[in-house]
């Protein structure tokens, strides 16, 4: 047998280098253009809405953000446009929605990825996807016709039990109708749960199987494996899912308009009626003119700014938390 020291023949190139260079350059330009297009659309939306809302901003100044009163048709004097009450209602109803939706969504996602049998997993995923496709007006009608009247006795019981407690008494105050912050938050929680669940489930499924098996091999229980391997790997994606659900909750219109009560109100009582920015826009835009229309568009600008600010803060929190988790794991 003869042994030679000749180097092996080089593999033929699959494609010509020039063709690869041109294709890569075109792909790079295309992806850069699509990314810039998204930013351009957002910029145009912001510029257009600010321009249309400028008469209200000019008339109210900073009082547009700090004023509680919203009175477009005063009997005497000038109209008053204050977004503070509606911003408060948007924040409270969205916060209530997240308080209920996030634990349920994370629990469902963990069950589907870690515990559920394969047959049950497919059926559950289908039901969740179908729930996400239900129109918001259906949730709103169900809320005003069924949920709100049914919850009034529950709200009254909570007020009777907790109304005398110093701090909780302000949160669970007197009950009027079932159309209030709490009902709006519950309806929003049902609406955003499928979104958060679907994304969280996909994020959990990306955790390497080797990491899970290594934790179990070291003697960890299933919960310890989830806490030590699944959560650190998935924290950023879960926060992204929550932020997407929060954006849906803050921008919801018809469902919230039907169940939140339609009152201009700032109160700690979650059983009191209120209003949100998106809801008041859809309620009053059809009858508005001039500066009134500009003020409603201004509410949209404020809602846009709130959404951007919350997402920026969420990114900061995610980066710090991930760095802390990686340091603790290391």
Q: Is residue 118 part of a domain?
A: yes
Which residues, 6+ apart, have CB-to-CB distance to 83 below 8 Å?
64, 65, 67, 70, 277, 298, 299, 302
Q: Is residue 33 part of a domain?
A: no
Q: Rounded to an integer, what distance in angstroms lies between the CA atom of residue 202 and that of residue 129? A: 13
Q: Which residue has the tokens 């309806």?
A: 187
> What is the number of structural domains in the chain?
1
Q: Which residue has the tokens 């289908």?
A: 126
Q: Is residue 14 part of a domain?
A: no
Band (pLDDT 50/70/90 cuts) for residue 200 is: very high
Q: Is residue 46 part of a domain?
A: no
Q: Is residue 286 part of a domain?
A: yes
Task: Give the pTM.
Answer: 0.84
Q: Rounded to an integer, what distance in angstroms lies between the CA atom of residue 212 and that of residue 225? A: 6
Contact at 8 Å (CB) between 269 and 96? no
Q: Is residue 189 part of a domain?
A: yes
Return the SS3 of 70: strand
Alpha carbon separation from 21 to 24, 25, 311 (Å, rounded): 5, 6, 37
More confident residue, 1 or 37: 37
Q: What percent of the chain has pLDDT over 70?
A: 91
> Is 15 exposed, middle or buried (CB count within 10 Å of its CB: 0-12, 13-18, 19+)?
exposed
Looking up residue 88, the CATH number of its domain turns out to be: 1.10.3720.10
Q: Which residue range is the domain that position 197 belongs to?
A: 80-329
Task: Tell me what pLDDT residue 1 has.
Answer: 47
Return the SS3 of 124: helix
More confident residue, 328 or 252: 252
Q: Is residue 97 part of a domain?
A: yes
Q: Is residue 107 part of a domain?
A: yes
């Amino acid at each position: 047998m003869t042994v030679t020291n000749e180097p092996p023949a080089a593999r033929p190139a699959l494609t010509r280098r020039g063709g690869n260079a041109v294709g890569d350059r075109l792909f790079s330009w295309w992806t850069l253009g699509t990314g810039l297009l998204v930013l351009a659309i957002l910029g145009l939306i912001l510029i257009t809405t600010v321009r249309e809302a400028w008469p209200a901003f000019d008339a109210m100044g900073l009082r547009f953000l700090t004023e509680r009163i919203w009175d477009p048709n005063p009997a005497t004097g000038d109209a008053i446009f204050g977004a503070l009450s509606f911003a408060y209602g948007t924040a409270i109803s969205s916060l209530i929605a997240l308080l209920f939706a996030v634990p349920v969504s994370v629990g469902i996602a963990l069950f589907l990825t870690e515990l559920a049998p394969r047959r049950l997993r497919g059926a559950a995923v289908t039901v969740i996807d179908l729930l996400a496709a239900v129109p918001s007006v259906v949730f709103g009608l169900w809320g005003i016709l069924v949920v709100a009247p049914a919850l009034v006795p529950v709200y009254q019981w909570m007020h009777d039990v907790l109304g005398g407690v110093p701090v909780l008494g302000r949160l669970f105050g007197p009950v009027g109708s079932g159309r209030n912050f709490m009902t709006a938050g519950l309806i929003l929680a049902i609406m955003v749960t499928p979104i958060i669940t679907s994304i969280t489930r996909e994020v959990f499924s990306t955790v390497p199987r080797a990491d899970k098996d290594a934790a179990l091999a070291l003697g960890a229980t299933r919960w310890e494996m989830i806490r030590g391997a699944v959560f650190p790997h998935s924290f950023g994606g879960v926060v992204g899912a929550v932020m997407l659900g929060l954006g849906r909750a803050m921008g919801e219109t018809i469902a919230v308009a039907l169940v939140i009560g339609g009152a201009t109100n700032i109160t700690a009582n979650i059983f009191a009626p209120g209003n949100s920015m998106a809801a008041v826009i859809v309620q009053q835009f059809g009858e508005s003119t001039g500066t009134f229309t500009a003020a409603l568009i201004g509410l949209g600008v404020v809602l846009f700014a709130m959404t951007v600010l919350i997402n920026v803060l969420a990114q900061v929190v995610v980066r710090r938390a991930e760095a802390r988790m990686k340091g603790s794991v290391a």
